[in-house]
């Protein structure tokens, strides 16, 4: 059983939705296999998964769909 590097909590195999910044835009990747900490929620991607994520992002291939993403600015919150 692998442990979380931040809090030593138990890691659980899950598929996650992973946001990735690329050329100033946010790209969302769905169904990414990851290890998620049960304690603090830290998401860890294995190096081979990270490589596949980067390969897909850099290929700039047509996305499955385009989603609208809400943007908030913390500086506007008083």
Give the interface with Zn ion as residue ranges (CB under 5 A): 4, 6-7, 9, 37, 39-40, 42
**7 with 39: CB under 8 angstroms?**
yes
CA–CA dist 41, 66 (Å, integer):
27
**Residue 61: CB partners within 8 Å, gap ≥ 6?**
none
CB nearer to Zn ion: give 10 or 52.
Answer: 10
CB nearer to Zn ion: give 38 or 54.
Answer: 38
CB nearer to Zn ion: give 41 or 63.
Answer: 41
Q: How far is the CB of 24 from Zn ion (least distance, A)?
A: 30
């Amino acid at each position: 059983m692998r442990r979380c590097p931040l809090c030593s909590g138990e890691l659980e195999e899950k598929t996650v939705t992973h946001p990735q910044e690329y050329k100033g835009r946010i790209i969302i990747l769905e169904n990414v296999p990851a290890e998620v900490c049960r304690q603090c929620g830290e998401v860890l991607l294995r190096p081979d998964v990270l490589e596949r994520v980067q390969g897909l992002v850099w290929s700039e291939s047509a996305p499955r769909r385009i989603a609208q993403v809400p943007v908030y600015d913390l500086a506007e919150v008083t």
